[in-house]
Amino acid sequence: MRREVRYHLRRATEGDESVKVLIVYYSTYGHVYRMATLVAEGVKEVPNALPVVRTVPELIPKSVIDARADMKAAKEMQQDVPLVTMDDFREAGAIAFGTGIPCSLRFAGGCLGGRLHRGPPKYPAVWPPL
């Protein structure tokens, strides 16, 4: 985890209360999933910080995933990761997003992949306008 992120997270977790760090990702082939788990490991190193790893609904048809061994293996690897909920967003003290390339939505020098972007609008009360 980058030093600046760790510093700000430590400041946010000073005191006795824990802070939930929501890690929301989308991963077709498993690479972003692996990165999300590494971010979660880094969050665990910060006192009073609790990682919460979640994914978004799959948009690729099951028949397409089943026809590709690489996609199927990645989905099986991630099968126990819960879908993100409105409560996850409400309870989070910090949020980290992870998606692969290509990116379909650009903002503030960053990028939010299409599949991740299509998920959160179901949660308008906690999803800031872009």
Q: Is the pLDDT of residue 12 over 70?
A: no
pTM, entire model = 0.73
Higher pLDDT, 129 or 63: 63
User: Residue 127 falls within a domain, yes or no?
Assistant: no
For the stretch 15-44, pLDDT in tens is 668 999 999 998 999 999 999 999 999 999
Q: Are residues 67 and 96 in contact, defined by beta-carbon separation less than 8 angstroms?
A: no
On whether residue 128 sits in a domain, the answer given is no
For 54, the domain range is 3-122
The answer to whether the CB of 22 falls within 8 A of the CB of 89 is yes
What one-character DSSP code corresponds to residue 82? P
Question: Cα dihedral angle (30, 31, 33, 35), rounded to 10 degrees?
Answer: 160
Q: Is residue 106 pLDDT above 80, yes or no?
A: no
Q: What is the mean pLDDT of residues 67-72?
A: 96
Indicate the number of domains in the chain. 1
State the Cα–Cα distance between residues 7 and 90, nearest whole angstrom: 23
Query: Rounded to an integer, what distance in angstroms lies between the CA atom of residue 48 and that of residue 68?
Result: 41
